[in-house]
Structure 1
Amino acid sequence: MSTQATAPIGVADEENSHLDATRSRAIRRRSLKLLGSLLRPHRVDFTLAIVLVVVGQAARVAGPALVALAIDRGLPAALDGDWGPTWLVAGGYVGAAIAAGACTAAYIRMAAKVSQAVLLDLRQRVFRQTQLLSLEFHESYTSGRIISRQTSDLEALRDLLDSGITSLAQGFLFMAFTGVSLFILDWRSGLVLLVAVGPVWAITRWFQKRSQVLYRISRVASARLIVNFVENMTGIRAVQAFRRERYNEQVYGGFTEDYREISARTMRLNGVYDPGLTLIGNVTVAVALGFGAFRVLDGSLEVGVLVATLLYTKRFFQPVRDMAMFYNAFQSASAALEKISGLLEEVPSVRPPARPVALPSAQGHVRFDDVTFGYGSGRTILPHLELDVPAGQTVALVGSTGAGKSTLAKLVTRFYDVTAGAITLDGVDLRDLSTPDLRRAVVMVTQEAYLFSGSVRENIALARPDASDEEIERAARAVGAHDFILDLPDGYDTDVNKRGGRVSAGQRQLISFARAFLADPAVLILDEATSSLDIPGERLVQRGLETLLANRTAIIIAHRLSTVAIADRVLVMADGRIVEDGPPAELIAGSGRFAALHAAWRDSLV
């Protein structure tokens, strides 16, 4: 019988609630810190905007008081033949209106200037951060989520900064100035308004609590839609190949239905709040009118003051609806800011060295010294790996899927850092090597052979944008890509993503080889670079490979053993260990794993 003590359910719930509250406060502080850092460079413009909105709203609130003055002072004077006070009040009213309009216009322009600068800064920060984060992050954080950060989340912040803050600042100041003016003009009428504030606060608080939940759910539903759409468009070939269109349509339809339902619930919430607010405002005006009318009759309140109090009471409730709508935008933007600040808080798992060691002319000697590695907290992939690859040697890695070949390649390129041990290049630990020298010395070519939007010339010059046309063409000639490039509609200036500029898988691979040749690395890694090619395409690429690998260290990962034939040395991997090591001919003549693999491959060609 177990004697282990367990916490009561209520205590556990309380602890979880405390942890959730602590986490929420931490996230809120992180978001506010980000917002502060974005506004700090624009504090002068931001301060000026605050001054403009204060002056503008003060001038706007002056109107009813001037109307009262005109009725109670200007009109009697005019009846006695003295139009001076009337014209003076009229001039003051026009001046206040002009001041309010001018300050509001200037404030809106200033706010737009600040908001656009903040959004530009934030957009660049998000892009810069996603570029700097390690491969480990990108392999776990889907591209759809990153796109959501750059699109819908930034759009929510734009709505907040462009109009939401304007509504809040203007509404809050207008209500404050209106209430103060009403109390100064007639404190008894101010008490009527003060009593009405209670129901307004209650219904607004009710609305805020429910809209906060709905808008957070709405942000999640919106992000889910974007992620699903991006994944389907990215994998459209697989979708059509496996006839997944109808199923995907049903899944996407479910997501859109969820989003529609959330939007409908939000509209129903607004359908209760707006009429409720209007009802409270009208009842308050009616009470103020009845109370004021009795006082006018007994002579304790002037007619002009009554008119002004009614105007103030009516106007007082106008910004409440806008401020409540701002709260919706605020909740949406707050959730977006939390996600963006979380992304910006991510720390690269592979960090630049504190004291980088320069290696301007690498020779290509790679050594694994008792290297152990595992992804995150998962199992160990490479246990205590020892490997020495002399400069200029071509090494082929073979083995079954999951043997650790691609992991080894990712460690050499320092997409990941080793868990224990060290990998050195010409005696320098990769973790100490300066990032520019490492990227210049080690280049990987993958099977995807990704081509960016732009011309063939720009794609070849990816690693060296300053390369001359002669250098680019020399690289293409060296790997056998020059002739087919010239056959394209615009030659080297053909846009690879436009009609007529499409190239085959083998041609894409040759362009990527030309790119690597132009980069001229000391160590070249080919991660199954020919696995997606047919036999003619492979032969075309094979000739380019022989030129590409000359006079440099090369690590080739290949399932096709035809690619292995050009290697000086073959490493057979199993369970993260090197189980065979030797020249191809020597291993083929033996009776080990590579000999069996070679025999199976040869039989498959018969």
Structure 2
Amino acid sequence: MSVTGVQGEERLDYTKAESREIRRRSVRLLGSLLRPQRAKLWLTAAAIVVSSAAQAAGPAIIAFGIDQGIPALVEQNWYPAAFAGLAYLLTGVVGAFLIAMYIRLSARIGQAILIDLRTRVFLHTQRLSLEFHESYTSGRIISRQTSDLDAIRELLDEGLTLLVRGLMYMVFTAGALVIIDPTSGLVLLVALVPLGILTRWFQVRSQALFRRSRVASAQLIVKFVETMTGMRAVQAFRSEKRNEAEFGGLVEDYRDVNARVLGLFAVYNPGLAFIGNTAVAATLVLGGFRVVDGALEIGVLLAAVLYTKRFFDPMEDMAMFYNGYQSASSALEKISGVLEEEPSVPDPAHPVDLRRAEGHVGFEGVQFEYTRDRVILPRFDLDLPAGQTVALVGATGAGKTTLAKLLARFYDPSDGVVTLDGVDLRELHPKDLRRAIVMVTQEAYLFSGSVADNIALGKPAATFDEIVAAAKAVGAHEFIEGLPNGYDTDVNKRGGRVSAGQRQLISFARAFLADPAVLILDEATSSLDIPSERLVQEGLQTLLADRTAVIIAHRLSTVAIADRVLVMEQGRIIEDGSPADLIGGSGRFAAMHAAWRDSLV
């Protein structure tokens, strides 16, 4: 778990210890990203250093040309002036070449880092457990992959080269100024005092504002994504006006924080210009008096003025870098927080292979709780023999889906073990686990692509004949053939071209093609009409004959194909028996069945 809070919840009120840990975490991530680029980084740094030195040599060469070259020309000696001209031209050519070189190198480094980081975020979030994805909204994940990575991209594209080049240029400029005229160097040193105070003022205030800006940006994205994703509910409940007000408030917050950032620049940039102009004026006035006294040559004065002015030139670029740096730093904190998340259902250190599972499931002393005061499933034992079809029934919130998620190992039990053929699921090889146990949920999610591609998700190497056979088995073949391009029809994102019931049938075909030893159906027939449900049940009776099946359903018609019924209430199994025995009894299931039968009349 990261220090940012429960599953990536974004905060602004970090303690000092948390802030230090966040910085260390971000530095670790940045170091791991830069490590593969070390050779290119050193080459880029060398190019920047040499190009900065070449540029900084310009005023000194001009001073030499004025103080040495012009008097020599009076005496018909053109060599010093020619030397100064050639030297100035050479430093300009070298500087221009090296600038082009490090721009290309830095661009390659930046793109390599971005590809690495983007891939890490995608792969890592795939590996994280269901608990993370159920609590970390999709909008925040999208924000990590979009606005946060864009902030880092902007920094890598220009910011870092601006910083290093600016720093090197300032160092060489100050050094050259001290060498040619220590007095002017002292003036610059005095100017650094108010410059440091102003810069520190800017940094302290901008750091919190940039962090708020990233949070406000993420909140905008989250609201937009969730509204677009839930558009059916938005329009069904006429919540457009409320969303408009909420989104408008978020936009106002984002505008406000950015206006405050711009307010800081409105103070910092003019203050920077004032300090720089004052330093140039002081250098010119003091140097002028010394030129009159004969203590300073005119060329050196010109060079000193140029150096003083040039020293402050990169400062505005560096202020803009700090703008990008704060945004990128805040983005890196959030991304590193996601990458630091550990799966709550980790892969085993020494996995046990189970290449062909029989399907014997056991719950031994299992208890599940989110927190100590919130026990979802009190301690229980349960044995499901291989090949048995078991129906889980009960009121909403009885714990049926939680039990199924433990069996699919979306969660691990708080205590006890869940076994498959005697092997603890926590020790089972992940590939064997996913091959042996498949869960079909009510959501029936389809990905962009063809119908055949979606069915083949259960077995990527499946032939077309196998895909068709799976569709026929669950009664999906007829409607698929009626689609514009049959099995090659693009379902569009989330299955927009097929109905809810058709999506469910495709997800059934996908699961059956996977041929698991244990099949879990969680309200999987809820989207089907009665004729479709009967058709699927006919296919289920054939397809479930040789595998263990756990069926969760509110529709008691689905229970008819079960060998065994478990009735759950408040996380406990209160009845266990065959459908006929329980219907003939006087317990909870008999009452549920009678009420369902009456509803059909």
Cα deviation, residue 115, structure 1:
1.1
Q: Deviations over 1:377-426 (max 9, x none)?
A: 45111112111111111000000111110011000000111111111111
Cα deviation, residue 533, structure 1:
2.9
1:381 pairs, out of 342, 363, 376, with 376
Contact kept? 1:208, 1:324, Cα under 8 Å: no
1:599 pairs, out of 591, 594, 600, with 594
Q: Which residue of 1 aligns with 2:583?
A: 588
Percent identity, aligned pairs only, is 66
CA distance in 1, matches of 2:94, 2:542: 76
Q: Which residue of 1 aligns with 2:145?
A: 150
The 3-state SS of whatever aligns with 1:449 is coil
1:395 pairs, out of 390, 411, 423, with 390
Q: Deviations over 1:481-516 (max 9, x none)?
A: 112111111111110017997111111111111101
The count of corresponding residues between Structure 1 and Structure 2 is 589
1:22 pairs, out of 17, 22, 33, with 17
Q: Which residue of 2 aligns with 1:275?
A: 270
CA distance in 1, matches of 2:14, 2:33: 29
Q: Which residue of 2 aligns with 1:513?
A: 508
2:353 pairs, out of 330, 353, 358, with 358
Q: Which residue of 2 aligns with 1:407?
A: 402
Give the aligned residue type for 1:450.
Y
Q: Which residue of 1 aligns with 2:82?
A: 87
Q: Structure 1 runs of 4+ off > 6 angstroms?
A: 498-501
The 3-state SS of whatever aligns with 2:381 is strand
Q: Which residue of 2 aligns with 1:176?
A: 171
Matches within 5 A, 1:282-301: 282-301=277-296
* Structure 2 spans left out of the alignment, 5+ residues: 1-12
CA distance in 2, matches of 1:537, 1:247: 38
Q: Does 1:211 align with 2:203?
A: no
Q: Which residue of 2 aligns with 1:325?
A: 320
CA distance in 1, matches of 2:496, 2:541: 27
CA distance in 2, matches of 1:448, 1:538: 16
CA distance in 1, matches of 2:476, 2:371: 40
The 3-state SS of whatever aligns with 1:431 is helix
CA distance in 1, matches of 2:544, 2:501: 18
Q: Which residue of 2 aligns with 1:535?
A: 530
Q: Does 1:425 align with 2:433?
A: no
Cα deviation, residue 605, structure 1:
1.1
1:70 pairs, out of 65, 76, 83, with 65
Cα deviation, residue 162, structure 1:
1.4
The 3-state SS of whatever aligns with 1:374 is strand
CA distance in 2, matches of 1:193, 1:558: 79
Matches within 5 A, 1:188-587: 188-497=183-492, 502-587=497-582
Contact kept? 1:528, 1:556, Cα under 8 Å: yes
The 3-state SS of whatever aligns with 1:565 is helix
* Structure 1 spans left out of the alignment, 5+ residues: 1-17
CA distance in 2, matches of 1:50, 1:500: 51
Cα deviation, residue 292, structure 1:
1.0
CA distance in 2, matches of 1:503, 1:19: 47
CA distance in 2, matches of 1:351, 1:115: 32
Q: Which residue of 2 aligns with 1:110?
A: 105
Q: Deviations over 1:67-109 (max 9, x none)?
A: 1011111111122222222111111101101111111111111
Cα deviation, residue 542, structure 1:
2.8
CA distance in 2, matches of 1:501, 1:382: 37
Q: TM-score by structure 2 length?
A: 0.96
Q: Deviations over 1:317-375 (max 9, x none)?
A: 01111112211211111111111111111111111112111111111111111211112
Larger displacement relative to structure 2 (237-246 or 368-377)? 368-377
Give the aligned residue type for 2:175.
V
Give the aligned residue type for 2:492.
N
Q: Which residue of 1 aligns with 2:6?
A: none
Larger displacement relative to structure 2 (99-108 or 56-65)? 99-108
Give the aligned residue type for 2:476.
A
Cα deviation, residue 19, structure 1:
8.8
